Structure 1
Amino acid sequence: MMGISIWQLLIVLLIVVMLFGTKRLRGLGTDLGGAISGFRKSMSDGESAASTETVKHEPK
């Protein structure tokens, strides 16, 4: 079993940069980062809303 070496990864990275260009890759990274931060924000908003609902529905 052979693993992926650093040289193979560098060659793949070079081919990807040549195919798509740095401008398109930068835009893709920005979009991906925005999506991840939006997902994290919605998850934290959902957790705070769930904890608020739990407090409202506690029997006395």
Structure 2
Amino acid sequence: MLKLLLATGLAGCGFSGYLLYHDVFVVHEPVVGSALIYGGCMLLVLGTSLGLVRSRSVLGDNFPG
């Protein structure tokens, strides 16, 4: 599940980065691209956070970090 969330977040960031590049240099609407980049990166952070919380609950308090 963590790998799926992480992959989704990374794909969101990458795709949003492409859209931001396209919007800024081709369409000149950076607001849309910025919103997508922000959303994609927030998905990445959220997925990573959920994965860490889940790992801690599975492994107990001995989980490093």
TM interval, shorter chain, is 0.5 to 0.7
- TM-score of the superposition, structure 2-length normalised? 0.51
Give the number of the structure whose alpha-carbon radius of gyration is greater. Answer: 1
What are the residue-to-residue correspondences of 1:1-60 with 2, within 5 Å? 13=21, 16-17=22-23, 18-19=26-27, 21-52=29-60
CA distance in 2, matches of 1:42, 1:23: 28
Runs (4 or more) in structure 1 with deviation over 6 Å come to none
Aligned-pair CA distance for 1:20: 6.9
Structure 1, unaligned runs of 5 or more:
1-12, 53-60
Q: TM-score, normalised by structure 1?
A: 0.55
RMSD of aligned alpha carbons: 1.6
Segments of structure 2 that go 5 or more residues without pairing to the other structure are: 1-20, 61-65
